[in-house]
Amino acid sequence: MASSKTIRVDVLIQLALLILFGGIYVSLTKDQVYEAKNYQRNLSHPDVVLPAPASIFLAGGDSHLAGNLLFMRVLVSSTQQMAPETRSAVMELQKQVSVLLPAHEDNYYVAEATLPWMGYVDQTQQILLNAAEARKKDPFPYFYAGFNLQQFKDDYLGAAKLVEKAAVAAPQFKVALQVIAAKWYARTPTPEVAEKALDLLISQAGDPEFKKYLEQQKARNQLVVKLTQSIATYQQRVGHLPTSWDDLMTQQLIEHEPMDPLGARFVIDERGKVRLVNQK
């Protein structure tokens, strides 16, 4: 059993460390917390981010409390009037929260709503994947991570794979999420990869209507590949890109204007790429 003297020494050491960390924190943050002239609080600029161990120590060793306190600093920040260094600090705060409290729903939601649009896509992905690992039955971290890949990185293959993980996490949304995954698989730059992915989805589809949709999506993908090849052949023959399907029909590369199995309309854009537009 520890003596009372040993206990007193331990308490004094902890008190000394608390005073030390507290003094460092105050000295670093006083300019951000108070305006010099009128002594008003200025919490909207959390420019100073302490290391996670220091935040835990200041929270009395409670990592959950430390994470929640850090997230409160994120919430009082004004994302619309942030200086670049403040945006970076907020991103670091949210990364720390995602380590201390990976299952914190508000943290990953706020991160998704703000950080990727400020340029912190990779950091947002890590926050979302931490949340997905901690929240096994929550489909949204995987879904948001997939959205970010296709939105900010044009990585439709990676996006589709993440959305499939979201479908596993939430069976009640499985069909809806697999529809999104199928669309993103179809937009991958490698047609062979897209077709294999769609074949896999078709083989796993239990709902007849969903299976029919996937088969139509596969037929669309195959048609886009053929049309792209015909456009390339036309350019080689004539020396310039076609402007309409009539050009391809004139060269007998297609028999008629292509019809989309899912009801949209195919057009050729100014770069010679096949695009889909909704029928009016």
Which runs of E-coded beta strand occur in the chain? 265-268, 274-277
What is the sign, positive or negative, of the torsion defined by CA atoms of 104, 108, 113, 114?
A: positive
HSE (side-chain half, CA atoms, 13 Å) at 240: 5
Phi/psi of residue 41, nearest 5 degrees: -65, 140
pTM: 0.58
Q: What is the pLDDT of residues 201-248, one digit of tens each?
A: 788 777 788 888 888 888 988 898 899 999 999 999 999 999 999 999
CB atoms within 10 A of CB 11: 10
Domain boundaries, the chain: 1-135
| Per-residue pLDDT of the chain in tens (280 residues, 90 and over written 9) | 455 555 555 555 555 555 555 555 445 444 444 333 343 444 344 554 555 555 554 445 555 554 555 555 555 454 445 566 677 887 888 888 888 888 888 888 888 877 887 789 999 999 999 999 999 999 999 999 998 998 888 899 999 999 999 999 988 888 888 888 888 888 887 777 778 778 877 887 777 888 888 888 889 888 988 999 999 999 999 999 999 999 999 999 999 999 988 888 899 998 898 888 876 5
Q: Is 121:153 a contact under the CB 8 Å cutoff?
A: yes
Give the N- to C-terminal CA distance of the chain in Å, as an integer.
83
In whole angstroms, give the CA distance from residue 120 to residue 97.
16
